[in-house]
Structures are given as structure tokens and as C-alpha cells.
Copies of this chain bind each other. A is one copy, B any other.
Amino acid sequence: MWKISRGGNMPAASFISIGDLSKRTGVAVSALRFYEEKGLLHPLRTSGNQRRFLRSDIRRVSFVLIAQKLGLGLDEIEAHLAQLPQGRNPTLTDWQKISRAMREQIDERINLLTRTRNQLDQCIGCGCLSLAKCQLYNKDDRLGLKGPGPRAVLD
């Protein structure tokens, strides 16, 4: 664990405080601390224990926001971010790699949603809506959406 000292050997502009990161990303300070706790961010510390983020963490947080919009949970997002190189700053290519992987996930999600919607159409048509027979009652057809749903049925 190395600390950043005031006036240390790194250019000061490379590091930003949690407040600055918050302003840059629009994410609340408390949320950024929470993200660190969840392993999405790995800030350094000053000798006085204050967090210091890299500029590239702005992009990291941006990615989190986008991924959330696409319906991913923080766990999944962390898994994606873990693909980024450890030591060096991520390059465009690095970002493209993980974004492509995510695209597949989101495509799957859209597909499942579309399929379920189409089945709903069928069910309206036949008027059944009685899950016992209906195709909609398919345990494996879980949407990756958040809805926990009744555990007994859907898990």
C-alpha cells in the first residue's frame, strides 16, 4: 500500500479527489464510496487517508452508468471491469473488448424480452393466460432483468 504524499513525485493533475470525480460524473460521493466498497473502483490514498482517483476512473464510472442503463447489476459490471488491464491505463482497444462482450449480453436480453412479449401476444389471442399450460410459464425463460419475482416459481 503506497501512499500519495502532498507534493509527491507524480504530477498533481493526475489525481482527483472524490468530490471532483463526483462533479465530473454526476455520481454522488456516497455512491462512489459504495462503488469502491463493491470493488468497482480502486482509489489510492493520501497520507491523510483521503481517496485519490486516476483521471481514467472518470471513464470507468461512465462505463458503470452505461452498463446500469443496460440493466446490468454491479456484480456483472465488476466482472466486466475486471477484464481491464491492472497496471496501465486502459486503452481504447481495452474498452472496445469489454464493450463487445457486453453487447452480447444485452443482445440476449433484448431477445428474451422480445420472445416473452410475443408469447404474451399469443396468450392474449387464445385467452388462456393460465400459466399451467401457457408457454409463458417457462422457468428457464428468465429475463435477466432485476425483478426477483416469486422465488418458489422462478428460481
Contact = CB atoms under 8 A, between A and B. Distances in A.
B59 A130 contact: yes
Given A113-B109, A129-B59, A121 B147 contact: no
A13 interface: no
Contact of A110 (B58, B69, B117): B117
Main secondary structure, interface of A, reads helix
Number of copies: 2
Interface of A: 24-28, 31, 58-59, 62-63, 65-66, 68-73, 92, 95-96, 99-100, 102-103, 106-107, 109-110, 113-114, 116-117, 120-121, 123-124, 127, 129-132, 134, 136-137, 141-143, 145-147, 149-153
